[in-house]
């Protein structure tokens, strides 16, 4: 009997992953949602191209896509870290507003750029740290802890100034106004900053132990702790990174709009979450990619562009993004249900 069962167990071990397709699926099944996002992006491009009779995929439009969505991209990168741990950060929109107006105010008061920029980045990171500590040490749900961050950021933004402050600092405006051209293509320093953020984040998440700890926490926090990983530190760091990114986004937004405004970024956290989810990151954590989030942001941006081109009402934007979000969530749900069913 023992021999029989041993044989059975062995065949079970071997039967996995024979054909290349099976191997691919067993290795990269988690990437499917991100591939789907790429597919949607391509379809949107093709659709836009057909609808506008070849006037959509132009260097100018695609360059503008990065330029117009650099802020959201930076926010989405930070949000990806948090969502990968299985958390959520609702504070990014208002933290961005706070750091943006804080920067504008400091520059307006004659504080040198070399102090103002680090100050607003640290300001964002500090609110992230507060949220992280609440989540990690006081066991507060991420939703509630970041809600406190949301209130705090919004209130502080209004305390800095109740109305918008124009920025006249050359260094900050340079970030937006400079166009590095290559034919009809161009990129601004803000775009470079956003892409660099993506690159650094991708490196950290995939090639450092800290990054893998983030994934492990999202997969199973308890396990990660029992495996001896530094869970507490990594979780707090994820919120600090998200806060830092919100601070950076505040800087970019100030450069983009040439002013700080305390009403900026209301509801932007939802856009960032939507972009991350559309990009294929599971809201339950542990699965997803920063590059996917970038695709998600571009999907978001492309939809917005198309709606602008069509001259349709902006209210459609909310409805379409909501529907896309729903579609992706249902797909994710099906994937999770399938992988649970397999075990």
Partner 1 sequence: MTAIYKHRLFWPIVALLTLIVVNAVARPQFIKITMRDGELYGPLISILRESAPLMLVALGMTIVIATRGIDLSVGATMAVSGAVALTIIDGSDDPGNVGTVLIACVVAVLVSLVLGAWNGFLVSVVGIQPIIATLVLMLAGRGVALLITGGFITTVNSEPFAFIASGYLFALPFAFLIGLVAIIVLSLVERRTALGVLTEAVGINPEASRLAGVRSRSIIWGAYMVSGMLAGIAGLIYASNIKAADANAAGVFIELYAILAVVLGGTSLNGGKFSIAGTVVGVLIIQTLESTILFLGVSSAQSPVFFAVVVVIVVIVQSSRLRDGLAALSTRLRSRSEADEKVEVA
Partner 2 sequence: MTADIEVPPIVEMRGITIRFPGVLALDNVDFTLRPGEVHSLMGENGAGKSTLIKALTGVYAIDSGSIAVAGERQTFDTAADAQEAGISTVYQEVNLCTNLTVGENVMLGHEKRRGTGIDWKATHREAARHLDSLGLQLDTRSMLSNHSIAIQQLVAISRAMVLDAKVLILDEPTSSLDRGEVEQLFGVIRDLRDKGVAILFVSHFLDQVYEISDRITVLRNGTLVGEYPIEELPRDALVTKMIGRELEDLAAIANSSHRSIDRTGTPVVKATGLGKRGVLEPADLEIYEGEVVGIAGLLGSGRTELVRLLYGADRADEGSVEVHGEHARLHQPRHAIEHRISLSSENRREEGVVADLTVAENIVLGMQARQGWLKKIPKKDQDAVVQEYIEALGVRPANPNALVGNLSGGNQQKVLLARWLATAPELLVLDEPTRGIDVGAKADIQRKVAELSAQGLSVIFISSELEEVLRMAQRVVVLRDRKKIGELEAATTDLDALIDYIANAGEGTAA
Helix extents (H) in 15-141: 20-28, 32-51, 59-84, 92-108, 113-137
From residue 319, alpha-carbon distances to 263, 315, 323 in Å are 22, 7, 6
- Can residue 275 be called a binding residue for partner 1 (CB under 8 A)? no
* Site membership for partner 2, residue 225 (CB under 8 A): yes
Residue 145: contacted member of partner 1, partner 2, none (CB under 5 to 8 Å, by partner type): partner 1
Rg, C-alpha atoms of the chain: 22
Interacting partner of 224 out of partner 2, partner 1, none (Cβ under 5 to 8 A depending on kind): partner 2
331 binds, among partner 2, partner 1, none (CB under 5 to 8 A by kind): none
Is 7 a residue that touches partner 2 (CB under 8 A)? yes
Distances (CA, A) of 163 to 97, 99, 269, 300: 12, 14, 22, 29
Considering only residues 16, 21, 53, 109, which one is a binding residue for partner 2 as defined by CB under 8 A?
16
β-strand 185-187 against 259-260: which pairing, if any? unpaired
Binding status of residue 140 toward partner 1 by CB under 8 A: yes
Return all residues near 280 (Cβ < 8 A) that are at least 6 apart. 31, 32, 33, 34, 35, 36, 37, 287, 288, 289, 292, 295, 296, 328
Using CB under 8 A, pick the residue from 212, 258, 270, 320 that binds partner 2. Answer: 212
Q: Applying CB under 8 A, which of residues 134, 216, 237, 251 lies at the interface with partner 1?
A: 134
Give me 172's structure tokens.
């900050």
**Position 287 contacts partner 2 (CB under 8 A):** yes
Residues 175-204 that bind partner 2 (CB under 8 A): 203
Determine, following the binding rule CB under 8 A, whether residue 333 of this chain makes contact with partner 1: yes
Binding partner of residue 83 among partner 1, partner 2, none, CB under 5 to 8 Å per kind? none
Distance of CA 209 to the CA centre of its chain: 21
Coil, strand or helix at 184: coil
Question: 284 — phi, psi (to 5°)?
Answer: -80, -5
Number of residues forming the site for partner 2 (CB under 8 A): 46
Distance CA 132, CA 122 (A): 15
Least separation in angstroms between CB 109 and partner 2: 39
Report the residue number, 212 or 263, with the smaller CB distance to partner 2. Answer: 212
| Helix, strand, coil distribution of the chain in percent, nearest 5 | 75, 5, 20
Q: Three-class SS string for 17-36? A: CCCHHHHHHHHHHHHHHHHH
List of residues contacting partner 2 (CB under 8 A): 1-10, 12-14, 16-17, 23, 26-27, 29-30, 203, 206-209, 212-213, 215-216, 218-220, 222-230, 286-287, 339, 342-343
Binding site for partner 1 (CB under 8 A): 88, 94, 130, 134, 137-141, 143-145, 147-152, 154-156, 158-159, 162, 262, 266, 270, 273-274, 277, 283-284, 313-319, 321-323, 325-326, 329-330, 333, 337
């Amino acid at each position: 009997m023992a021999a029989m069962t041993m044989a059975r167990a062995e065949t079970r071990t071997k039967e996995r992953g024979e054909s290349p397709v099976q191997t691919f699926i067993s290795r990269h099944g988690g990437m499917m949602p991100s591939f789907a996002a790429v597919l949607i992006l391509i379809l949107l491009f093709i659709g836009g191209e057909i609808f506008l009779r070849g006037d959509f995929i132009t260097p100018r439009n695609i360059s503008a896509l990065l330029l117009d969505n650099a802020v959201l991209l930076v926010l989405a990168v930070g949000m990806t870290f948090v969502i990968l741990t299985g958390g959520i950060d609702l504070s990014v929109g208002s933290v961005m507003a706070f750091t943006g107006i804080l920067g504008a105010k400091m520059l307006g008061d004659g504080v040198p750029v070399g102090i103002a920029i680090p100050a607003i980045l640290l300001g964002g990171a500090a609110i992230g740290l507060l949220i992280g500590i609440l989540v990690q040490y006081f066991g507060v749900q991420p939703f509630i802890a970041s809600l406190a961050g949301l209130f705090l950021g919004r209130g502080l933004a209004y305390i800095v100034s109740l109305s918008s402050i124009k920025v006249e600092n050359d260094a900050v405006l340079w970030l937006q106004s400079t166009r590095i051209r290559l034919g009809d293509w161009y990129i601004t320093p803000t775009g470079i900053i956003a892409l660099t953020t993506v690159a650094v984040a991708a490196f950290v998440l995939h090639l450092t132990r800290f990054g893998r700890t983030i994934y492990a926490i999202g997969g199973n926090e308890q396990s990660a702790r029992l495996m001896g990983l530094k869970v507490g530190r990594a979780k707090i760091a994820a919120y600090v990174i998200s806060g830092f990114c919100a601070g950076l986004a505040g800087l970019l937004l100030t450069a983009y709009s040439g002013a700080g405004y305390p009403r900026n970024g209301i509801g932007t956290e939802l856009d960032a979450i939507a972009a991350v989810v559309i990009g294929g990151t599971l809201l339950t954590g542990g699965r997803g990619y920063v590059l996917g989030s970038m695709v998600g942001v571009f999907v978001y941006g492309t939809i917005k562009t198309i709606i602008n081109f069509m001259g349709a009402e902006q209210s459609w934007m909310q409805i379409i993004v909501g529907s896309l979000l729903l579609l992706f969530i249902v797909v994710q749900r099906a994937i999770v249900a399938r992988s649970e069913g397999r075990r």
